[in-house]
Structure 1
Amino acid sequence: MRLLFLGDVLGRAGRDAVTRHLPGLVERWALDFVVVNGENAAAGFGITEAIAQDILDAGADCITTGNHVWDQREALVFIERQPRLLRPVNYPAGTPGRGVNLFIARNGARVLVMNAMGRVFMDPLDDPFAAVAAALEDCALGAEADAVVIDFHAETTSEKQAMAFFVDGRASLVVGTHTHTPTADHRILPEGTAFMTDVGMCGDYDSVIGMERDEPIGRFTRRIPSGRFQPAAGEATLCGVAVEISDATGLAEAVHPVRLGGTLSQSLPPFWP
């Protein structure tokens, strides 16, 4: 099974990169399943229903989010009728939407996608480890699911790495999102789970984590905000991770970062033509 995960889509630049590159990648690599984190897609803050549909139309099978999921208030309503949009699973009971869902991939495989959010330097939600464990108990890899993908939206590398080892052997892929900077530690853990601490963003890297530079620099140097953060509008780098998953075990056989376009060094998976 061929799976592609794309990092936080930031603003119009990120959306343009996804709609420009993703359809061709789906065809070129014969992708079976695509997950995209879209929580910064609407001018850097949240996601709208129209933008979510554009990402799905480009080839995404599921959209994950994070701490900005409710920045666009309409998300509280449309998430209920859009099963392919997830919010973190460890929000309290009664929160609109769902944090986990089972999908059917293009090759017929059952893919469980889960979105969770860390608590270190983040909103103090429910325990993400307990929430993830409960979801895996309900829909286990190799039983009810042929592949399991976990988007762990968290600030610290330690919490992301702890989550990855916590589920090693019970998930196909654990990928970190949120910090908008790709890490260089993509690997397969001892029990067969692919992991990357942070996949990076789909956005303009000639920026401060995707935003025009002047405002964040001013806030750091003067400690006084002078305006709103505005997404950088240059050419985005499409950042993600490609994973080859065993049809027999649901565990990872190969993993490689994807970087396409923009200012970062380019990277494509050598195991796909």
Structure 2
Amino acid sequence: MRILFLGDVVGRSGRAAVLETLPKLRERYRADFVVVNGENSAGGFGISEAIFNELLDAGADVVTTGNHVWDQREALVFIERHDRLLRPVNFPAGTPGRGAGLFKAANGMDVLVVNAQGRVFMADLDDPFRAVEQELSACGLKSGTDAILIDFHAEATSEKQAMAHFVDGRATAVIGTHTHVPTADEFVLNGGTAYISDAGMCGDFDSILGMDKEEPIARFLTKIHSRRFAPSMGEATVCGVAIEVDDATGLAKAIAPVRLGGRLSQVEPAFWLDPA
């Protein structure tokens, strides 16, 4: 199985890049399953129902979120209508929506997607480790599903690495999101779980984490909030990772970065490209 994951979509620039690029990538890579983190896709803060549907139409099978999931207040209502939109699983009981789901890939295999949020330097939600453990216990690899992907939306790399080692051998991949900067530590752990600290963002990197530079710099200099952050509108880089799954075990055979367009160095997964 081939799983493609795209990192945090930031604003109109990132959204336009994903909507244009994803259909081509899905065909080029012959991806069986695609997950996109869309929590910054609506003006940099949250996600709207219209944008969610656009991402599905472009080829996403599941859209994950994070700490900005409720920034567009309409999400509190429309999330209940959409099984393929996830919010962090460790929100308290009674929070609208769901944090995990079992989905069908294009090749007919089942994929469990779990969306969790870290607590280090972030909001004090319920324990993400116990929440993830509960999902894996209910639907184990090769006992309840063919693959398990965890989007761990967290600030601290230590917490992300701890989650990966916590589930090593029991999940296909743990993909870090939230910090918007693609890391260079993608590898397969000893037990067969693919990992990267952050998949990066789909947005304009001539920015500060996808936002126009003027206001963040002013806040650092003056400690005064003069206006709302606004997404940068330059050419976006589409960032993510490709994961090759061993169908017999559900564990990862390989993981590689994807970076296309914009300012960053360009890279594609060699193991998915036809030889020249």
TM-score of the superposition, structure 2-length normalised? 0.98
1:145 and 1:139 map into 2 onto residues whose CA distance is 6
Match of 1:174 in 2: 174
Q: Match for residue 60 of structure 2?
A: 60
Shift of 1:222: 1.1
Deviation of 1:237 after TM superposition, in Å, equals: 0.2
Q: CA deviation at 1:256?
A: 0.2
Query: For residue 132 of structure 2, what is the aligned residue in structure 1?
Result: 132
Asked if 1:30 is matched to 2:30, the reply is yes
Give me the whole-angstrom Cα distance separating, in 2, the residues matched to 1:154 and 1:31.
Answer: 26
Following superposition, the deviation at residue 226 of structure 1 comes to: 1.3
Query: What corresponds to 1:76 in structure 2?
Result: 76
Q: Distance in 2 between matches of 1:207 and 1:52?
A: 24
Post-superposition CA distance 1:106-127 (Å, at most 9, x none): 0000000000000011110000
- What SS does the corresponding residue of 1:52 show, helix, strand or coil? helix
Partner of 1:270: 270
Could you tell me which runs of 5 or more consecutive residues in structure 1 were left unpaired when the two chains were aligned. none
Return the offset for 1:78. 0.6
Residue identity (%): 67
Indicate the residue corresponding to 1:106 in structure 2. 106
| Count of aligned pairs between the two proteins | 273
Q: Give matches, 1:136-215, under 5 Å.
A: 136-215=136-215
Per the TM alignment, residue 29 of structure 1 is displaced from its structure 2 partner at its CA by 1.1
Equivalent position SS for 1:271: helix
Runs of 4 or more above 3 Å deviation: none
Q: Distance in 1 between matches of 2:168 and 2:146?
A: 15
SS of corresponding position for 1:79: helix
Structure 1 CA distance for aligned equivalents of residues 39 and 64 of structure 2: 7
Q: 1: CA distance between counterparts of 2:97 and 2:204?
A: 30
Q: How far apart, in 1, do the equivalents of 2:225 and 2:264 lie?
A: 29
In the TM superposition, residue 225 of structure 1 has moved relative to its aligned partner by 1.3
Q: Shift in Å at residue 104 of structure 1?
A: 0.4
For residues 65 and 272 of structure 1, the distance between their equivalents in structure 2, rounded to whole angstroms, comes to 27
Q: Partners of 1:96 and 1:30 in 2: how far apart?
A: 34
Question: Counterpart amino acid of 1:69?
Answer: V
Which residue identity is paired with 2:172?
S
CA distance, structure 2, for counterparts of residue 258 and residue 199 of structure 1:
9
Amino acid at match of 1:264: L
Instruction: Classify the secondary structure of the residue corresponding to 1:43.
Output: coil
1:245-260 equivalent positions in 2, closer than 5 A: 245-260=245-260
